[in-house]
Each structure stands twice: as structure tokens, then as C-alpha cells.
């Protein structure tokens, strides 16, 4: 985290940030810079070794604070450069007069000149010139330049996988894209601005903390200022006390006053506050999540309710064969053989799972459809709702219960009562029953039921347990019936579920939770999800989704992984915890500095104050110098922690607070005592420290 090359390349940016027009946005460090300027003037007017060393470390304190922010911003510059390459020198083939029935005429224009609503054509090997929706055709698209994922994706007109991103490459076929972005507002443009921190706005909590730090700074300014008349009065009443570099008949020297102020105000958190916020955004970018604002990241840390789609998020998305249930008079091996034969030509994930399950559980050899030369394959249709195979006089069918039952009856067979019981049991367990029937030698019968079930992703229960420990309630949203939804919810371990959900139901659920004072996060990818994404406090739209969904959400997941919402919440909480931990550490630091500087200033006037010199520092000058040096060095030492973030473990708010107080509160008190004493052992040998 403290790569010397990164530090070296960030120094020019840190020096540029010394400009008061930039630094005034950070009130704490702005005061430090004013103090450094004033100390420099005093050192020029009355040069001493002690004065110039204090001035040197005061300027280093400001520089280190700027360096923390510059390093945080610099980590994203490499990614910004690669993103710029994705959009540079791209030429668009704009279509004039295009409509679904009218091909239009082509003209070549530079990609940055495209306007919202323009239509462009992109063929294999060409770069998509801007964000938009596919309105004609289907193509394989390489999105690795944006997402880092090498596997191509399919984009097609209509449906929820029509959105394309500028800078990605079409690998096959031809598509027509309608541009939905405004010039300079594409996702690539926004990502560049995000990772470079150019348009980073402070979050509400960050603004509130800045106000608190500014208020503390003002209080310490007045507190330090009141020491001057006290020092003058005390010196006047003790004329026999000799003058020192820190205290003369005119009171406390200006340089020492500045040093005291800089050491007592919360410079550590003031220096690292921006870096913590930038690093939090950067952690999201590293996970291919584009946050439209820092407010969204911060809100993720305060989320109380997570709304998660069942399919593809909690479950694998494709139902898998989990059980063969034979009817009376049928052996399990017979049913398995019939189920496998009827599924050989079924290329759907469900069909392939039946073939694999029969092989694994019953040892049946996986036969290829091409091996059965006399077979006639019956494909699934929406009208028949079943598929199968005809092998001469032996026919097999697999499909919906009612369809297969009607087929058996139509061929003179009967349906046993046990079939209804098995189908009901499978449905109640949350599965999908597929009935297998056969016609052999003129006799039709039902053989049994294939139990297809949603497979809950591995580790989901553990992750939901973590959410619960964080105080977050999880709600599964599904279009399934309540029985199926309850079975999946129980297996996955979610707290609640919403079955047979419509867009209106999702929106109503979010509003009801928010009315109860909760912050809600959800994911979505379709146009029908847009109202709910816009209403949610944290709305994560999938990159594969529609433009409407991406515009409605305040985050876009470029990997289109719905489970990433859980990671986003953890990153948000880590950001808040890091900010709180370093604030605690910074304020606790001041206790040790009081014991170092206050006794050093007045010990010649009031020898009894030597009892407060618990660190037994060498001299007043070395005590002040050691405190100033520690105040600067601790900023550099904490840069890695501010960039990486405090390690987050799921726990209740009270436990997290206790841990912060013990580790960073107590640590913030102890560390300066040790650090200042070690520095004093070194600086006591420097000129002017006697």
C-alpha cells in the first residue's frame, strides 16, 4: 500500500494541492497551512535551529495530508488511462432516416459527436461508439475493456439484454444501436471521473464530520490563544525565571503557539478524510461497480433491508434434477432410463441435468442423441408442453403433469391416484414436477415424476447469517407461488420473502420499509424494475439490463452479478467503520500531546507541572519538536489503513463500537506516548534542543 513508486509519482499532485484555493475545502489542513506560512515568516525574521525545524515539519504535515489524497486518487489513474483508450479514435457509422422497415443511409462521424437518439450500425470487429440499446439484430460482444471479463456476452434487441456500453467490441454479426447517452456523460466518462476523483462530491456523513472537525479546530484556536495572556501574566509575576525559546517576557513564541495548535487540532483525521472516501469508491471500482455518487456508497453502509431476486441471486437460476420418484409397479432404474432417453436431445440446462443425474445416481451411460439412429426426437413446444423420443414402437414423453396425463389417456392408459400425491409433494417442497410417460406395445402408462428443484448457491445461508449479525434483514423476491417461495426461503435462510411479485408489489414493499425508517437496497435489470430501483436508497442495476434500469439506479454492476449487492453493503460498512475508527484514533492522540507540550511550555514557571511530564522528555524544546514530528509521521503511517480500510467482520453496532474504542481509542492514547518518547530520544541530540 506504500509502494515507493506510487508515493514518488504522487508527490507532484500533493505539491499542487498546497494551493490555498484547493486546500480551503479542508478546514483543518487549511489552518495548518496558514500556521506554516506564519511560522515561516517568524523564522525568517528571527532565525533559529529550533524555529526552522518546526517550520520544516509543519510544511511536511500539510504535504503528507495532501499526499494521502493524491495516493488515493493516483490508484485510479491507471484504470482511467485504459478506459480512455476504449473511447479514443472511435468512428461511428451513423444511420440517417433509419426505421425498422427502412435501412437508412450511412455517414461516418466521430464518436464524441453522437447525440442522444442517434442510430448507429456496428458490425463484427468494430467498437460500439456509445452507450445505447440494441434495436435490431443480435451479436456477441466483448466487454473486457470495461468489465475485465474475457468471456463474451450476447446482446439482442428487445428484452432485458439489449443495453450496450461504449468502448466494447462486437465479435460477431451485426446490430443497430440507438444512442441513449448525452455527449460526455457515457459510463466510460463517468468511470474516468470517478476513479480520478475529479467529480467526487462529499457525502452527507463526510460533510457532517468536516463541520465537526472545523468546530473543534475553532475551539482549539481560541483555547490556544487564551494561553498567551496567561503566559504574559505568569512571566510578569515571576521575573526571576529565565527566558527560553518557548517562553519569554512577551509570552509564548509565535512558532510554539502554531506548533501547539497544530498538535491539538484533529490533523490526523483531517488529513485522511478525503483519502478514506476516495478509497471506498475505488474498492467499488475494483469490483467493477460504478457508483453514481458517494452518497450511494455511504447509504450502502447504513442499509437495513436487502431485497434480493431469487433466480440467479439466491439460486443458480436453472432448475436441476434432484430426484426420480417412480410410481407403483415401476422400478427406479426404469424411470431413470426413460427420463435420460427422453432428455438426450433436450439442450436446456434442465434437460442436461436430468441426463447427468441419471448417470451419477444410477450408473447409466450417457448416450449421445446421434447414437440412436432410428430415433425420432419430439421437441418441446408451448402448445404440447412436453418433449420426448420415438424409438420404433416405444414412445417416451416428458413434460407438464396435465400434458403427459392427457397423452397417456389419449393412448388408452390410466393415471394412478398416486401421481397426484407425488406431484403435490414435489410442488409443496418448492420444486417443479415433470411427469414421464411411455407407450410400449400399445400400452400407455405414467412411469413417475422427475423432481426439478432450484439449487440454492453454495454458502448463501452463511452469507445471510452474516447479514443478520450486521442487523440487516433479507427479503427474497420471486414470481413463484407462495409454497415454492417459502421452501426456497427456508433452505436459503432469508428472513422473509415476497411471492408472485409484480413491479407494483416491489415498489410498495420498498416504500413501506422506508416509512418505517429503514434504508433499502435492491438489484434489478429490467425496465419494470426501474421504479423500484429509483425508490430504493441503494439501487444496483445490472450492466446487462436496460438503459431505463441503469438510469434509475445509483450504482451499475458491470459484471451483472446480483449477489454483488452483499459485497457492496460490506464495502459501505467498511467505509463508515474506517472513518469512525480513524476519527477515534485522531482525537485520542491529543491526550498524549497535552502531556508532551503543556508541561514543556510552563514547567519553568510552575515546576510542579513536571509531574505531568510522564514521558520524561529531554527538554521543552525536544518535547515540542517530538510532538510535531509525531503529528506528521502518523499521517503517513495511517495512509495504508485509510486506503485498505479497517478490516470488517459482521457484528452488531454495539460490538463494533466497543472494538473501535478498545483498538483505536485506547491505541490512539498509547501510541503517541510511545512514538513521542522514541522521537525525543533521537531529537535531543539536535542543535537547539537543550
Q: Specify binding-site residues for Mg(2+).
A: 525, 529
309 part of the active site: yes
Which one, of 543, 577, 359, 323, lies nearest residue 451 by Cα?
A: 323
Interacting residues of 158 by C-beta distance below 8 A, sequence separation 6+: none
Please tell me what DSSP assigns to residue 662. I
How many other CB atoms sit within 10 Å of the CB of residue 357?
A: 23
- H or E segment and range at residue 394: strand 394-399
Interacting residues of 372 by C-beta distance below 8 A, sequence separation 6+: 344, 389, 391
Exposure of 44 in the CB half-sphere (CA atoms within 13 A): 6
Phi-psi region of 606 (alpha: psi -120 to 50; beta: other; left: phi over 0): beta
Binding site residue list for ATP = 346, 350, 380-387, 398
C-alpha to C-alpha distance for 19 and 82, rounded to whole angstroms? 29
Sign of the alpha-carbon torsion through 369, 373, 374, 380:
positive
C-alpha to C-alpha distance for 439 and 307, rounded to whole angstroms? 47
Helix crossing, 49-74 with 620-644: angle to 10°? 0
C-alpha to C-alpha distance for 59 and 262, rounded to whole angstroms? 11
Binding site residue list = 346, 350, 380-387, 398, 525, 529
- H or E segment and range at residue 476: strand 473-477
User: What is the residue-wise DSSP string for 551-578?
Assistant: HHSSEEETT--TTHHHHHHHHHHHHHHH
CB 612 within 8 A of CB 596: no
C-alpha to C-alpha distance for 323 and 451, rounded to whole angstroms? 5
CB 467 within 8 A of CB 300: no
CB 137 within 8 A of CB 170: no
Burial class (CB in 10 A: 0-12, 13-18, 19+), 76: buried
Buried b (16+ CB within 10 A) or exposed e, 360-372: eeeebeeeeeeee
User: What is the residue-wise DSSP string for 583-627?
Assistant: HHHHHHHHHHHHHHHHHHHHTTT-GGGGGG-TT--S-HHHHHHHH
Q: Catalytic: which of 309, 480, 561, 590?
A: 309
CB 75 within 8 A of CB 6: yes
Question: Do β-strands 305-309 and 473-477 pair in parallel, antiparallel, or remain unpaired?
Answer: parallel
C-alpha 70, offset from chain centre: 21
C-alpha to C-alpha distance for 570 and 649, rounded to whole angstroms? 9
C-alpha to C-alpha distance for 576 and 656, rounded to whole angstroms? 11
Interacting residues of 404 by C-beta distance below 8 A, sequence separation 6+: 386, 397, 398, 435, 436, 437, 446
Structural Rg of the chain based on CA atoms = 35
User: What is the residue-wise DSSP string for 161-230?
Assistant: --EE-TT-EE-SSEEEEEE-SPTT-SHHHHHHHHHHTTTPPPPHHHHHHHHHHHHHHHHHHHHHHHHHHH
As annotated, the active-site residues are: 309
Amino acid at each position: 500500500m506504500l509502494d515507493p513508486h506510487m508515493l514518488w509519482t504522487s508527490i507532484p499532485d500533493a505539491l499542487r494541492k498546497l494551493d490555498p484555493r484547493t486546500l480551503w475545502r479542508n478546514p483543518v489542513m487549511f489552518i495548518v497551512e496558514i500556521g506554516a506560512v506564519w511560522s515561516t515568516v517568524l523564522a525568517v525574521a528571527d532565525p533559529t535551529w529550533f524555529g526552522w525545524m518546526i517550520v520544516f515539519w509543519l510544511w511536511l504535515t500539510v504535504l503528507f495530508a495532501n499526499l494521502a489524497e493524491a495516493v488515493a486518487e493516483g490508484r485510479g489513474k491507471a484504470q482511467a488511462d485504459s478506459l480512455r483508450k476504449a473511447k479514443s479514435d472511435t468512428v461511428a457509422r451513423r444511420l440517417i432516416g433509419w426505421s425498422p422497415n427502412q435501412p437508412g443511409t450511412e455517414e461516418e462521424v466521430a464518436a464524441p459527436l453522437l447525440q442522444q437518439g442517434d442510430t448507429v450500425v456496428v458490425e463484427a470487429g468494430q467498437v460500439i461508439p456509445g452507450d445505447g440499446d440494441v434495436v435490431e439484430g443480435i451479436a456477441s460482444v466483448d466487454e473486457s475493456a470495461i468489465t475485465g471479463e474475457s468471456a463474451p456476452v450476447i446482446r439482442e434487441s428487445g428484452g432485458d439484454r439489449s443495453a450496450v456500453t461504449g468502448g466494447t467490441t462486437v465479435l460477431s454479426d451485426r446490430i443497430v444501436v440507438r444512442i441513449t447517452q448525452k455527449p460526455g456523460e457515457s459510463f466510460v466518462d463517468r468511470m474516468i471521473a470517478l476513479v480520478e476523483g475529479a467529480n467526487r462530491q462529499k457525502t452527507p456523513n463526510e460533510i457532517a464530520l468536516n463541520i465537526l472537525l472545523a468546530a473543534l479546530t475553532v475551539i482549539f484556536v481560541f483555547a490556544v490563544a487564551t494561553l498567551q495572556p496567561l503566559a504574559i501574566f505568569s512571566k510578569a509575576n515571576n521575573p526571576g525565571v529565565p527566558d527560553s525559546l518557548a517562553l519569554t517576557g512577551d509570552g509564548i513564541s509565535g512558532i510554539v503557539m502554531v506548533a501547539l495548535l497544530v498538535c491539538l487540532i484533529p490533523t490526523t483525521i483531517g488529513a485522511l478524510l478525503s483519502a478514506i472516501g476516495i478509497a471506498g469508491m475505488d474498492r467499488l471500482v475494483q469490483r467493477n461497480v460504478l457508483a453514481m455518487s458517494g452518497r450511494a456508497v455511504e447509504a450502502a453502509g447504513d442499509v437495513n433491508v436487502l431485497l434480493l431476486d431469487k433466480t440467479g441471486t439466491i439460486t443458480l437460476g436453472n432448475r436441476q434434477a434432484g430426484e426420480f420418484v417412480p410410481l407403483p409397479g415401476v422400478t427406479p432404474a426404469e424411470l431413470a432410463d426413460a427420463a435420460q432417453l427422453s432428455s438426450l436431445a433436450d439442450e436446456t440446462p434442465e434437460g442436461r441435468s436430468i441426463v447427468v443425474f441419471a448417470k451419477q445416481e444410477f450408473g447409466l451411460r450417457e448416450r449421445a442423441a446421434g447414437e440412436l439412429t432410428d430415433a425420432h426426437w419430439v421437441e418441446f413446444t408451448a402448445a404440447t408442453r412436453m418433449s420426448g423420443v420415438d424409438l420404433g414402437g416405444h414412445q417416451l414423453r416428458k413434460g407438464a403433469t396435465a400434458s403427459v396425463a392427457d397423452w397417456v389417456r389419449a393412448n388408452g392408459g390410466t393415471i394412478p391416484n398416486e401421481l397426484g400425491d407425488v406431484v403435490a409433494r414435489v410442488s409443496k417442497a418448492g420444486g417443479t414436477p415433470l411427469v414421464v410417460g411411455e407407450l410400449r406395445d400399445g400400452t400407455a402408462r405414467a412411469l413417475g415424476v422427475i423432481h426439478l428443484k432450484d439449487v440454492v448457491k453454495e454458502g448463501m445461508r452463511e452469507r445471510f447469517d452474516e447479514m443478520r449479525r450486521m442487523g440487516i434483514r433479507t427479503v427474497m423476491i420471486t414470481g413463484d407461488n407462495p409454497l415454492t417461495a417459502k421452501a426456497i426461503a427456508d433452505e436459503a435462510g432469508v428472513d422473509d420473502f415476497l411471492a408472485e411479485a409484480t413491479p407494483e408489489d416491489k415498489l410498495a414493499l420498498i416504500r413501506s420499509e422506508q416509512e418505517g425508517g429503514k434504508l433499502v437496497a435492491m438489484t434489478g435489470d429490467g425496465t419494470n424494475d426501474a421504479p423500484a430501483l429509483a425508490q430504493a436508497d441503494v439501487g444496483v442495476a445490472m450492466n446487462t439490463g436496460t438503459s431505463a434500469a441503469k438510469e434509475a439506479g445509483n450504482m451499475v454492476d458491470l459484471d451483472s452479478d446480483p449477489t454483488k449487492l452483499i459485497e457492496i453493503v460490506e464495502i459501505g460498512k467498511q467505509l463508515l467503520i474506517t472513518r469512525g475508527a480513524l476519527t477515534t484514533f485522531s482525537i485520542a492522540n491529543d491526550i498524549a500531546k497535552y502531556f508532551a507540550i503543556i508541561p514543556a511550555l510552563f514547567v519553568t514557571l510552575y515546576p510542579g507541572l513536571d509531574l505531568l511530564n510522564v514521558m520524561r522528555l529531554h527538554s521543552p524544546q525536544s518535547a515540542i519538536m517530538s510532538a510535531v514530528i509525531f503529528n506528521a509521521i502518523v499521517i503517513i503511517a495511517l495512509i495504508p489503513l485509510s486506503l485498505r480500510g479497517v478490516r470488517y467482520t459482521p457484528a452488531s453496532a454495539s460490538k463494533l463500537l466497543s472494538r473501535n474504542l478498545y483498538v483505536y481509542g485506547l491505541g490512539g492514547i498509547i501510541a503517541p506516548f510511545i512514538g513521542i518518547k522514541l522521537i525525543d530520544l533521537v531529537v535531543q541530540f539536535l542543535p537547539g534542543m537543550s
